[in-house]
Chain A
Amino acid sequence: MSQPPVGGQQPALDPAATMDSQEKLSGEIEAIGAEYAAAGRLETQPRLDYPPYRSSLLRHPTKDPHHVDPETIELWAPAFGERDVHPLEADLTIQHNGEPIGERIVVAGRVLDGDGRPVRNQLIELWQANAAGRYMHKRDQHPAPLDPNFTGVGRAITGPNGEYRFTTIKPAPYPWKNHHNAWRPAHIHFSLFGTDFTQRMITQMYFPGDPLFALDPIYQTIVDPKARERLVATYDHSITSHEWATGYNWDIVLTGSNRTWMEDDAQDEEH
């Protein structure tokens, strides 16, 4: 399956990467979208088998997931607390000796479960590219500058109402090797735990109005237009602060808890 290096300079990041044009990719994305719209069946999660995202070809399970009733250990999530995360870890702009370059932003919102209950005292982790679209990762070698004052990693524990708040820098779009001239929309990766281990998820937050949405096979793995819009944050002027940072709101809903909740659960999670 491996392809020759693209462009003759760097090895292809992904063995499944192709030199297919954006036009070809967009055609595939559109055809899947049209087929989905005609089928009239709601899908709210990404498709595991989504051929336009070339690296999914050999990595998606071919058999349907096996339905199972969760057992004891799956009905609880690991406990996290202040021992695990310092409050300053939620500010990605103060981790080094100087100010990172770029547009300072605050991303704030709530984590809820599918029943609308706040997911409190749980871990949120995020990571992202810098304002030039470059990750602090040895395998990201695209010709954009690293920022010595920005690593792009943050952690927080959700508050009593499931709330979270990160201060960071707005990431830029960046190229990848899925197809010719492929660019990812600007995004922040989010990792979340719920009250059950069955609620564990990793996702990506996007910024409103990005022109790359329609062209991006990863964003489009969620074939339902309304469902994928749930990944787009809202610009929120009440989060924006005077002479300091622009603000975005993004609320996250995990799946339903399978556990019968007790009154003392909230306390248990707080110890």
Chain B
Amino acid sequence: MSHAPELKLVPTPGQTVGPFFGYALPYDKDSELLAPGHPRSIRLHGTVVDGDGAPIPDALLEIWQADEAGTISRETGSLVRDGYTFTGFGRAAVDNVGHYTFTTVNPGPTEPGKAPFIALTVFARGLTNRLFTRIYLPEDTEALASDPLLASLDAERRRTLIAEREADGSLRFDVRLQGGDETVFLSYPRES
């Protein structure tokens, strides 16, 4: 862990997103970091489930990622998409059966040798605060093996952070809020 200097101010507590975000947070093309059907685009999708394995119909996911070259976008326009600018940010509400879809690109390594990943934030009714996690790509076996986070987890738990590549090139990543194969959620040095 890096040195984490103490905070001067106490952070404001979080609260659940509640059930009624559905008319406020979703927006046109929110889950399309790239237009579907674009030659560069891939589908990232999966299901959000609770401790009984039941799909959650009122969850919202956000992703934030580098492009294929590992470049972090500083472009604006995530909320009003022009269809051409890759801003790296996306938001997707799950459907009635807990399923989400993003159209995006495979992220590249932001530093040589690093395992690329997509940063993911999870919000849901009944979830009292947001959760952070990471979606790693399955192919980068060497980089995955030397990734500090993945290396610190046992094999069973590590598996929950690595997406599955489907035959059509899609990435499949399920989020399990609770239970035996609960997704690994993250905390960062200077949270509170």
Contact = CB atoms under 8 A, between A and B. Distances in A.
Interface of A: 1, 13-14, 16, 44-48, 50, 53, 55-63, 65-74, 76-85, 112-116, 123, 125-127, 129, 135-137, 139-140, 151-153, 155, 189, 191, 197-198, 200-204, 218-219, 221-222, 227-228, 230-231, 252-258, 268, 271
Interface in B103-124: 107, 110-111, 114, 117, 119, 121, 123-124
Contacts of B97: none
Contact of A46 (B7, B23, B62, B129): B129
B79 A218 contact: no
A68 B187 contact: yes
A80 B15 contact: no
B12 A78 contact: no
A66 B11 contact: no
Contact of B24 (A77, A127, A197): A127
B127 interface: yes
Given A200-B62, A202-B14, A202-B15, A139 B20 contact: yes
A112 B16 CA distance: 21
Given A66-B152, A230-B13, A79 B75 contact: yes
Nearest to A123: B79
B184 interface: yes
A228 B11 CA distance: 11
A66 B87 CA distance: 28
A20 to B, nearest CB: 16
B185 A72 contact: no
- 5 closest residue pairs by CB, A with B: A256-B190, A55-B126, A127-B24, A114-B7, A81-B76
21 contacts: A13-B19, A14-B19, A44-B10, A45-B13, A45-B191, A59-B51, A60-B127, A67-B1, A68-B148, A69-B2, A74-B64, A114-B10, A127-B25, A189-B24, A200-B62, A202-B123, A203-B15, A253-B9, A256-B7, A256-B11, A258-B189
A58 B13 contact: no
A76 to B, nearest CB: 5
A116 B123 CA distance: 26
B77 interface: yes
A81 B74 CA distance: 11
A125 B190 CA distance: 24
B169 interface: no
Interface string B165-188: 000000000000111001111111
Contact of A228 (B5, B13, B24, B25): B13
Nearest to A201: B14
